[in-house]
Structure 1
Amino acid sequence: MAETKMVHSPIVTYISMICLLTLCPPFVILLWYTMVHADGSISQALGYLRRHGLPGFINIWPKPTAIAWKMIACYAAFEAVLQLFLPGKRVEGPISPAGNRPVYKANGVAAYAVTLITYLSLWWFGVFNPSVVYDHLGEIFSALIFGSFIFCIFLYIKGHVAPSSSDSGSCGNIIIDFYWGMELYPRIGKNFDIKVFTNCRFGMMSWAVLAITYCIKQVDTPTYPLTSFTGKGKNFVEQMASAWFGGKASSKIVASYTTKGETKTSLLLTSGWWGLSRHFHYVPEILAAFFWTVPTLFNHYEANGRVADSMLVNTILMLVYITKFFWWEDGYWNTMDIAHDRAGFYICWGCLVWVPSVYTSPGMYLVNHPVNLGTQLAIYILVAGILCIYINYDCDRQRQEFRRTNGKCLVWGKAPSKIVASYTTKGETKTSLLLTSGWWGLSRHFHYVPEILAAFFWTVPTLFNHFLPYFYVVFLTILLFDRVFFAVSSLLLCSMGNIGNYIARRSLTGLYLESSETSVWLNPPSTLICLAYARPLEGDIGL
């Protein structure tokens, strides 16, 4: 690529890149140290660093050990074999800016099932104790930091000397080339897609594996201080009822029916929980049965150990989310991560190191800080989290089905409304359909709302004694806000013209979208822009 356009100003872009390259690795170690050895307290960790300075930080940075490298190598090799040899349907990705269409084998669900069944079986039959992973977690993260950095150097060299397709090239700046990547679809051989491996098979799969690991480690800890959730004033059910009904009269249906020749009436409640479905009360009843059954899976292994309901909620919600991801994996291959982001430090190091460490951090915290939520609160959090994950999935499903059928489908039982968007990229005018009904009629990127809320719900079992478990929620919010701004900014850089009947233009303080019907002013907070990922821009953008 001869020229690299940037969403943010060059100074912000370069500062962001250098900060991420230099600060993310030590942050991962500090996160692990604080969660595991500093009671989850940022002030305690900072106090240690103030007292001991740089030598103290070097001292807490664990050295990669042979056992850490061995576990990483076995896991990576296992996932690579599954990616290559498990059967799966043929899936084509979107056409790239250079006219290439990548082909994938959709075997993510099978790989996910085989991985978890194998991991749990090794533990169940006493072949391998997952607690060992937690015991060597710092060494594993340290090995991943250095190993992934070397892997990114390999990708940089490969992009120069042996690119896999014409979707590659240098911008002439070594920092951007290393950070952003040289290739869009790098492969080893014909069938081994590197980004599918780093993003899906290693990164997302490690999230599930570590979530289970933390749960098992808590079981293997015979004694630990257990924090109980206690409400003040009204009991929790009364508080929920008050919040749910909001002090308003309930809605109802007056039903009349005839039995034995006699007409009778009955009131049917249609608000609160009964507004969700006619027999919604069966859902928490089934989940309650699940809750008192699941601990038996863990308690067989360590008679003195136990798993707190907070850890169960955290683990179940994470596994539901990751299951949703692999179920929808072929849709993920059409997203920005795969279809736009090149394979460099930004995406590959992030998936190999940042995902296993940061994304799993609430569970890492709960290992030594279990909370007894109580059955009611645990079920409420679990149901709310699952609902958010479902809405997030349904948002993506609506858009995917809309684009697959070229808009000829039903959205919420009706023909969808849409915008036929035209834009220009690299001198070529293209069109794209934008869904504006269903979830996508609420806001352009509404699917990010339930995703952030889902992350909150699997974190909130940690309660609020420390901030650090909520770092992922904050990070995710900043990242997704940046993606929304990036999508609109990319529109401006690609076309500077019509998007359907909309006209987009730059201003000094924000973005202004106008049409004959409406106008919208977008002024993202400067702090989000400064903290956001630095993104050079290239190729087609899906809004």
Structure 2
Amino acid sequence: MAEKIRTSRTTELEFGGPVGAFLLIFVMPGTVFYLLLTCRTKEASVLQLPGPLPPFESLWNPVALMILLAWFFLQALLYILPMGKVSEGTPLRDNSRLKYRINAFHAMMVSSLLAGVALVLKLPLSYVYDHFLQLAVGSAFLALVLSIFLYMKSLTAPMSALAPGGNSGNPLYDFFIGHELNPRIGSFDLKYFCELRPGLIGWCFINLCFLMKEIELQGSPSLSMILVCGFQAVYVIDALWHEEAILTTMDIVHDGFGFMLAFGDLCWVPFTYSLQGYFLVTHPQKLGVTAATGIVLLNTLGYIIFRGSNSQKNAFRRNPADPQVAGLETIPTATGKRLLVSGWWGLVRHPNYLGDLIMALAWSLPCGLSHILPYFYVIYFTVLLIHREARDEHQCMKKYGLAWQEYCRRVPYRIFPYIY
């Protein structure tokens, strides 16, 4: 039976199967470049073409590529340094457990120190804004090279190491979804490293560069830019501080590491999640104290829901007898595990998604209401989380059966109370 599990093929294909995977390989980079080109225009309208495409020579910059590689290898060096603790992941199909070094927060602190040195030395951080499109092209190129390497490496991996969702037998689909679950070079876990470090930490420092560019142009940072940079920095620092929680997420436990995650981690996250700051540099917005206070309160509400629900879930997974969660109502399942049906998880099935989306809206509001482009993140994230929730629903139904049906009856709303 165990051997059958290890060699089983993926039969449930997502994103439209091989055809959808093929299209997304072009649609994802195309979306990034379209948004960045549009953002630099005076109108910044997603409904108007941003003009003729720049010549290739202006998009490819060896210096930008060297900066990206230096950043990537700096984060890789910080990852392998003996800082932080080592934790075990969830059991794999062969019952082994991989070890992970938990030191992303340390990496953020070291990176922040280096950024402080760059500010003291008055290095031209505005270079990032001035060459942002070239940096995005370089990042997409690195993601493609990494994806090809990952797929070639997966061809020599044992069957037990392949991803449950990326073993279809179709090379294009498996290349996109990710053929190998936890590709490693020695003890260096490529998926885990890319999940939080180069792109997510890079997102924060891209925002810092935008802030410095705004100071260069206007003499001082705007309240809108300060709020955007501050909100997003808190979000990233929170993710890094709670790094260990990522070991139980779908990305680590179920999804392989292929083009989808490689491009998402290295290019999509840093170059689209920072779109509000990029927009504000050339489309400054005046923000009054009253509006700013309301936006801060909205972001605080989202963070309370997001962090409260995630902390409750993680505490319950680690130890159901923990005093923080011991009094919560649960539903037993045939697997021996229990499902939370009270607290945050009695409000909706994914309260963490609800908090995430409220924060996403708060990040966009400082950009005003006259352009839809800065709201791309919240629109995209809504679609992403609804799709992810559907994937979660499908996996939980297969895993928990009748217990999950009972949970859905008790908690009928998926993300938005009384709406969805």
TM over 0.5, shorter chain: yes
Give, in angstroms, the shift of residue 421 of structure 1.
Answer: 2.1
Q: Please give the residue correspondences for 1:110-149 in structure 2 after superposition, counting only pairs within 5 Å.
A: 110-126=106-122, 128-149=123-144
d(CA) in 1 for partners of 2:316 and 2:293? 34
Q: Which residue in the other structure is 2:170 paired with?
A: 173
Deviates more, 1:80-89 or 1:482-491: 482-491
Secondary structure, in 3 states, of the residue corresponding to 2:336?
Answer: strand
d(CA) in 1 for partners of 2:157 and 2:354? 41
Q: Please give the residue correspondences for 1:191-206 in structure 2 after superposition, counting only pairs within 5 Å.
A: 192-206=188-202
Give, in angstroms, the shift of residue 494 of structure 1.
Answer: 5.0
More helix by share: 2
Name the amino acid aligned to 1:345: F
Give, in angstroms, the shift of residue 98 of structure 1.
Answer: 3.3
d(CA) in 1 for partners of 2:101 and 2:292? 38
Does residue 388 (structure 1) correspond to residue 302 (structure 2)? The answer is: yes
Aligned partner (choices 384, 392, 403) of residue 499 of structure 1: 403
Give, in angstroms, the shift of residue 499 of structure 1.
Answer: 2.4
Give, in angstroms, the shift of residue 29 of structure 1.
Answer: 1.1
Q: Please give the residue correspondences for 1:372-521 in structure 2 after superposition, counting only pairs within 5 Å.
A: 372-411=286-325, 415-422=327-334, 430-493=335-398, 497-499=401-403, 502=405
Give, in angstroms, the shift of residue 342 of structure 1.
Answer: 0.8
Q: Which residue in the other structure is 1:189 paired with?
A: 186
Aligned partner (choices 5, 9, 17) of residue 3 of structure 1: 9
Secondary structure, in 3 states, of the residue corresponding to 1:3?
Answer: coil
Give, in angstroms, the shift of residue 409 of structure 1.
Answer: 2.8
Unaligned 5+ segments in structure 2 are: 1-6, 415-419
d(CA) in 1 for partners of 2:215 and 2:54? 32
C-alpha distance after superposition, 1:334-386 (max 9, x if no partner): 11111111111111111111001111111110111121212232233123213
Aligned partner (choices 70, 74, 78) of residue 78 of structure 1: 74
Kept in 2, the 8 Å contact 1:421–1:433? The answer is yes
Name the amino acid aligned to 2:132: L
d(CA) in 2 for partners of 1:329 and 1:377? 33
C-alpha distance after superposition, 1:25-79 (max 9, x if no partner): 1221111111123542223435x3xxxxxxx336379422111111101111111
Normalised by the length of structure 2, the TM-score is 0.90
d(CA) in 2 for partners of 1:175 and 1:38? 39
Give, in angstroms, the shift of residue 107 of structure 1.
Answer: 0.7
- Cα distance change, pair 520–440 in 1 and its aligned pair in 2 (3 A): closer
Aligned length: 407
d(CA) in 2 for partners of 1:197 and 1:519? 35
Q: Which residue in the other structure is 2:27 paired with?
A: 23
Kept in 2, the 8 Å contact 1:382–1:457? The answer is yes
Name the amino acid aligned to 1:133: V
Kept in 1, the 8 Å contact 2:17–2:173? The answer is no
Kept in 1, the 8 Å contact 2:347–2:411? The answer is no
d(CA) in 2 for partners of 1:61 and 1:16? 30
Does residue 209 (structure 1) correspond to residue 205 (structure 2)? The answer is: yes
CA-atom RMSD, angstroms? Answer: 2.5
d(CA) in 2 for partners of 1:369 and 1:16? 35
Does residue 33 (structure 1) correspond to residue 53 (structure 2)? The answer is: no
Q: Which residue in the other structure is 1:63 paired with?
A: 59
Normalised by the length of structure 1, the TM-score is 0.70
C-alpha distance after superposition, 1:478-518 (max 9, x if no partner): 111111111122234457x4326x479xxxxxxxx66xxx6
Does residue 13 (structure 1) correspond to residue 17 (structure 2)? The answer is: yes
- Cα distance change, pair 124–453 in 1 and its aligned pair in 2 (3 A): same
d(CA) in 2 for partners of 1:62 and 1:325? 35
Name the amino acid aligned to 2:252: I
Secondary structure, in 3 states, of the residue corresponding to 2:333?
Answer: strand
Secondary structure, in 3 states, of the residue corresponding to 1:419?
Answer: strand
Kept in 1, the 8 Å contact 2:157–2:180? The answer is no
d(CA) in 1 for partners of 2:238 and 2:157? 35
Give, in angstroms, the shift of residue 447 of structure 1.
Answer: 1.3
Unaligned 5+ segments in structure 1 are: 49-55, 223-304, 423-429, 505-512, 523-527, 529-543
More strand by share: 1
- Cα distance change, pair 213–39 in 1 and its aligned pair in 2 (3 A): farther
C-alpha distance after superposition, 1:411-450 (max 9, x if no partner): 4xx711111223xxxxxxx332211111111011111111
Kept in 2, the 8 Å contact 1:7–1:490? The answer is no
Higher CA-based Rg: 1
